[in-house]
Homo-oligomer: A and B are copies of this chain.
């Protein structure tokens, strides 16, 4: 919709988008301050409402923009042929990490958007959110080979436990890495650690 915005240099667009993603992501829609956004983006107050008519329009633009990026740089790269749940999970995790590394603010923003279900949103946005949730769900559960799990436990429960435990690990890792810049981290030891945990899970839950 915003015509003048598209004519900006990429650098300026991205400054504004990133400032807005960060503010909405950390404060939520209501608490997010347009003043904070323009300050962070280094533009005058008037410009934001020149490019986007109001706060809500900016928010919806960010959702559509982020979904577009997520589709192209995350979802389309998923290989749903992998039927081993743990391998699939690892693959998804690495893609998520890559995405976070490239777009940390967007990653966080997307997390908050997919979490809340806001009845105030226009129908098309709500539909896209639901669609994204469905894709995320399928990326985890669809086409999994349950015969890999050991026979003396319920495979559905085992799968859930694996998922929960690795989400816990990822939260734990995020906390440990908090504040550090993604670019100046040597990922290798963390990837090794991640694999070790996955191997424990494989040893324990698989045949």
* Contact indicator per residue, chain A 149-191, by CB within 8 Å of chain B (1) or not (0): 0101110011011111111110010000000000000000000
**In the docked arrangement, what's the CA distance between A166 and B163, Å?**
11
**In the docked arrangement, what's the CA distance between A168 and B164, Å?**
5
Copies of this chain, tallied across the complex? 2
Interface residue A24 (Cβ < 8 Å from any Cβ of B): no
A: number of interface residues (CB 8 Å): 25
Tell me, rounded to whole Å, the shortest Cβ–Cβ distance linking A133 to chain B: 14
Assess whether B153 is in contact with A200, with CB atoms less than 8 Å apart.
yes
Q: Which residues of B contact A200 (CB under 8 A)?
A: 153-154, 157-158, 161
**In the docked arrangement, what's the CA distance between A162 and B165, Å?**
7
Decide yes or no: A163 and B168 within 8 Å by CB, A150-B204, A204-B205, A205-B204 being known contacts: yes
Interface residues of A (CB under 8 A from B): 31, 150, 152-154, 157-158, 160-169, 172, 196-197, 200-201, 203-205
